[in-house]
Structure 1
Amino acid sequence: MTSKTRVVVIGAGPAGARLAQRLGPDALLIGEEEHAPYNRLLLAEVLAGRYSPEIIALPAPTSPQLRARVVRVDREDRLVHCDDGSVIAYETLVLATGSNPVLPALRGLFEPGARDLPKGVHAFRTMDDCLALSAAVREGTRAVVIGGGLLGVSAARALAERGAQVVMAQQGERLMERQLDAKASELVHRHLTGMDVEIHTECRVRGIHCTDGTVHAVELADHYRLEADLVVLACGVRPRTGLAVAAGLEVRKGIVVDDELRTSDPHIRAIGDCAEHDGHVYGLAAPALDQADTLAALLTSDPAPRYTGTRALTRLTLAEQGTGPLDLAAFGETEALPGDDVVQLTDATRRTYRKVVVRDDRLVGGVLIGELGTVGALARAWEGAEPLPTDGAPLLHLLTNHGGS
């Protein structure tokens, strides 16, 4: 049976759910997960036991929803085929398929011909991943987190709060090296160490060892073994583009879109983690929501807006039992180039660190840890990309509690 819908949205993550919410009854939202759309940024809070899954649910879209897996897109007849036998005709199709976790090429990760991870080995991307991890962790559980980026740091912190004995294996020189400068990364490292997280940087994982399909150790490149009851794969994400590739759309790093978020097929748009705009695949929540809002306006407004990119700010809270939280925010370029002006304020007693990078009288990046009173003003100055005031005020005013406002 074939039904017809003006806009069909594939993917019920934050981008797809936001678009469906904006479009209302004119859209049909198709999602694979059994759970209602939720805020992925708060999965670590669910793993830590701080929030229940219901708390991080997104507002329910007013559009109709279908829980199914899309198996094929027929561009010629503009039909979407689902694994439950449903066939939906569309006027406009929106791919909001998100991303998949990167599964590293580790010895022993998959048995020949197997598609499922060994027992005790978990990705950390979906609500099901989170709930499976939460059910497996106990006081004293030996957990190895592979990856020291934003996702790995979040998972390690949450597991430590649950009482697990956590070891992190990071291939890079430092934690969160894509978002933070060396000083800020050192503070995060120190904070996690204070939570009894054991951290190994410049450390490559060679493989995992299983007995009867259950993990019991992680082997490093130098053959050193880390005993493990749980292994968390936090090695990043990769745009989910399988449907687009099979449909013959242009795909590079992600599904290529223009300023109207249109793919190489004028009847198909793409937003969120799966989309590549102007060479960028963001993989962050803020750009995904910006794209959803822009596309909703494009489909309903005249004159229509354009999507010109998003300047995304990274925020994270590292809570420690018995002490206050350690908040951090980072944006833009946190490492200075020759000729840049840099201002830093550090207070070891209060565990605060603030830094901004200025180039040609414009704020190009910054990082704040422990004291985020100026983050709003700094973010506005950075996002606007406007020249900073030239009234002779010192750069230090950017880091004071009223700076930049």
Structure 2
Amino acid sequence: MASETVVIGGGTAGAQLARRLGYAGVSVTVLGEEPHAPYNRVLLAEVLAGRYGPEVIALPEVPVRRGVRATEIDRDQRLVHCADGTSVAYDRLVLATGSNPVLPPLRGIADGLPEGVHPFRTLDDCLALSEAVRPGISAVVVGGGLLGVSAARALAERGARVVLTQQGEHLMERQLDVSASKLLRAHLEAMGVEIHTECRVRGLRGTSVELADGYVLDSELVVLACGVRPRAGLARDAGLEVRHGIVVDDELRTSDPYIHAIGDCAEHAGVVHGLAGPALEQADVLASVLTGTAARYTGTRALTRLTLSGPGPLDLAAFGDPTPHPGDDVVQLTDATRGAYRKVVVRGDRLVGGVLLGDLRTVGELARTWEGDEPLPSTPLFHLLGGA
């Protein structure tokens, strides 16, 4: 058992690990770069939409040295050096550094983001946007993935006139098929969001957005929601193995046996999940490892959930690969009038992917079947979607 564990990062993964280790009596120091207490990043759009205050999304309290940025890892001396001039010794070090927003290579941001141009990743980003938005303000969201869709609908709920630009062919390409994306688009357009797909942004002129075809979207507020990438610079500088994320084994151990990584920054078996569910599971497994209990992380079968408010609230759930292979069974139901869509792909007796939109109060059974990789009941496949 480690006598002094240091965790770099006070987000979902770091806070969960610290809480578990604290219950087990392990001495732990958490270095959190943000000035805020740990919070649930998944709910930032709810804060931006004005439904929740920042205090509502706070995670259960864990001791964190707030506003402390780790700058260097001395692996020989087992020290973490910080920007405030302090150093922290460790027996075990855990990197829970999360991810950074991707800032695309656009003209006009080489020297920093112009005033009125915001990323959307942290609580400070959210608070700055909340302060800037007002009814009638024109806003452009660059990026039509999960983050961009969440930001666009939150700004629309605050009364902004929102334009959403997406380089790909349809919204949320990583999670949704074409049919589901069309329903999502219709939902956002009903909220007043103007959507442009297959639309590449070339640069910014202040808060005006220049498209590749030369057309300029005039706006007063710009949100860059172009995805995230693992925050692995600290690990890379320390000589740890980094591919897309910080490479870890089944005990969440990096290439240094005294250093572990969990959450958005960690790459396990070639996969960086970037979701809250896997981050929590990794934290739980590592807590067991660090307290001497045999445990292995074998991956997470993650399910993406999103609830969109507005005219006719819309729930969305996506999991696995919704594109069928030859020989797969596909069950699909569409009700355009109610904005409902259900599609699951079945291979043998297992779910391999699915997309569900609409009222998902009973999505739990399908979710449990997917997450547990359980065999499907011997009932007609149509009944899979009857309850949902």
- Deviation, 1:361, is 2.3
| Aligned match of 2:242 | 251
Is the contact between residue 183 and residue 336 of structure 2 (CA under 8 Å) also seen in structure 1? no
Is the contact between residue 174 and residue 201 of structure 1 (CA under 8 Å) also seen in structure 2? yes
Distance 1:66 1:208, change over 3 A: closer
| Aligned match of 1:364 | 352
SS of the residue 1:206 aligns to: strand
Compare 64-73 and 144-153 and name the one that shifted more: 64-73
Residue 133, structure 1, aligned to residue 129, structure 2? yes
Is the contact between residue 5 and residue 28 of structure 1 (CA under 8 Å) also seen in structure 2? no
Question: Which whole-Å CA distance do the structure 1 matches of 2:54 and 2:309 have between them?
Answer: 19
| Percent identity (aligned) | 70
Is the contact between residue 156 and residue 191 of structure 2 (CA under 8 Å) also seen in structure 1? yes
- Deviation, 1:367, is 1.3
| Aligned match of 2:305 | 315
Residue 39, structure 1, aligned to residue 40, structure 2? yes
| Aligned match of 1:329 | 317
Question: Which whole-Å CA distance do the structure 2 matches of 1:119 and 1:67 have between them?
Answer: 24
| Aligned match of 2:337 | 349
Query: Which runs of no fewer than 5 residues in structure 1 stay unpaired?
Result: none
Question: Which whole-Å CA distance do the structure 2 matches of 1:64 and 1:348 have between them?
Answer: 48
- Deviation, 1:173, is 0.3
| Aligned match of 1:101 | 101
Residue 266, structure 1, aligned to residue 257, structure 2? yes
| Aligned match of 2:10 | 12
Aligned-partner residue type, residue 151 of structure 1: L
| Aligned match of 1:399 | 385
Q: What pairs with 1:75-90 in structure 2 (closer than 5 Å)?
A: 75-90=75-90
Equivalent pairs, count? 384
Question: Which whole-Å CA distance do the structure 2 matches of 1:51 and 1:389 have between them?
Answer: 40
Residue 228, structure 1, aligned to residue 229, structure 2? no
Residue 28, structure 1, aligned to residue 29, structure 2? yes
Aligned-partner residue type, residue 41 of structure 1: V
SS of the residue 2:42 aligns to: helix
Query: Which runs of no fewer than 5 residues in structure 2 stay unpaired?
Result: none
- Deviation, 1:65, is 3.4
| Aligned match of 1:50 | 51
Is the contact between residue 255 and residue 270 of structure 1 (CA under 8 Å) also seen in structure 2? yes
Distance 1:261 1:316, change over 3 A: same
Compare 95-104 and 24-33 and name the one that shifted more: 24-33
Is the contact between residue 69 and residue 82 of structure 1 (CA under 8 Å) also seen in structure 2? yes
1:40-60 CA-to-partner distances (Å, cap 9, x unmatched) read 000001001110000000000
1:226-252 CA-to-partner distances (Å, cap 9, x unmatched) read 001111000000100111011000000
SS of the residue 2:306 aligns to: strand
Distance 1:108 1:133, change over 3 A: same
Is the contact between residue 49 and residue 158 of structure 2 (CA under 8 Å) also seen in structure 1? yes
- Deviation, 1:389, is 3.4
| Aligned match of 1:121 | 117
- Deviation, 1:181, is 1.1
Question: Which whole-Å CA distance do the structure 1 matches of 2:182 and 2:188 have between them?
Answer: 10
Question: Which whole-Å CA distance do the structure 2 matches of 1:64 and 1:163 have between them?
Answer: 36
Is the contact between residue 37 and residue 66 of structure 2 (CA under 8 Å) also seen in structure 1? no
Aligned-partner residue type, residue 338 of structure 2: R
Is the contact between residue 50 and residue 158 of structure 2 (CA under 8 Å) also seen in structure 1? yes
- Deviation, 1:296, is 0.6
Q: What pairs with 1:257-296 in structure 2 (closer than 5 Å)?
A: 257-296=248-287
1:183-233 CA-to-partner distances (Å, cap 9, x unmatched) read 1111110000001100000000011112xxxx2x10100001100111100
Is the contact between residue 261 and residue 269 of structure 1 (CA under 8 Å) also seen in structure 2? yes
TM score, norm. by length of structure 1 = 0.92
Is the contact between residue 124 and residue 234 of structure 1 (CA under 8 Å) also seen in structure 2? yes
TM score, norm. by length of structure 2 = 0.96
Is the contact between residue 312 and residue 331 of structure 1 (CA under 8 Å) also seen in structure 2? yes
Question: Which whole-Å CA distance do the structure 2 matches of 1:42 and 1:66 have between them?
Answer: 21
SS of the residue 2:90 aligns to: strand
